Amino acid sequence: MPLYTVTTKQALDAPSKQRIVNGITDTHCAVTLAPAMFVQVIFSFGIELRKGCKAHVLGSIRSGRSDDVKARLKTAFAKHIAEAMSINADLVQTELLDVPANCVIEGGAIMPEPGEEAAWLESYYQRYG
C-alpha cells in the first residue's frame, strides 16, 4: 500500500504506462516520504468514465495523511497522467481512501504507521535481503 488503480477508456501503450507509474511512484515517495517498494499501481482499461473524465485514479493510502498531502498528490498525479496521455490535467480525477495501516499485511508483516517505516524496513531487509 498505497494501491493506485488508474482507469482509462482506451488501453495505454507500455511507455505511457511506465511514465504514469514513474510519475505516481515518484510523487508518492516525494510527498509522503514512503519507500517506493510500498507503491502499487494497477491499470484498468475499457471503462467508460464519468463525463469530463479521461483518466481516473482510485487510491487506497494509509490513514494519517493530511489534506495538504492529499491535495499535492492529486495535483501531481493529474499533471503526470495528463502529460503521458496528452490531455488536459482537468480531465484527470483522483479519489483517495484512507486505510488504517494495522489492517494490512505487506512484506510479510503488518504495515507501519506513516512516518514509522524505518524499523519496519530494517526488519524486512534482515528477513528478505
What's the number of CA atoms in the CB half-sphere (13 Å) around residue 92? 23
Interacting residue with another protein among 10, 15, 36, 119 (CB under 8 A): 36
The residues that bridge with 43 in the sheet, in sequence order, are: 6
Q: Does 44 bind another protein (CB under 8 A)?
A: yes
Q: Give the containing element (helix H, strand E) for 70.
A: helix 67-85
- Residues 29, 108: Cα–Cα separation, whole Å: 21
Q: In the complex, what is the shortest distance from the CB of residue 70 to another protein, in angstroms, rounded to a whole number?
A: 15
Pairing of strands 92-99, 40-45: unpaired
**Residues 59-98 as x/- pattern, contact with another protein by CB under 8 A:** -x----------------------------------x-x-
Q: In the complex, what is the shortest distance from the CB of residue 104 to another protein, in angstroms, rounded to a whole number?
A: 5
Place of cell 509522503: 32
| Closest-CA residue to 57 (of 12, 16, 4) | 4
**Residues 107-126 as x/- pattern, contact with another protein by CB under 8 A:** xx-x-------------x--
Q: Give the interface with another protein as residue ranges (CB under 8 A).
A: 1, 3, 5, 7, 11, 14, 17-18, 21-22, 25, 36-37, 39-51, 53, 56, 58, 60, 95, 97, 99-100, 102-108, 110, 124, 127-128
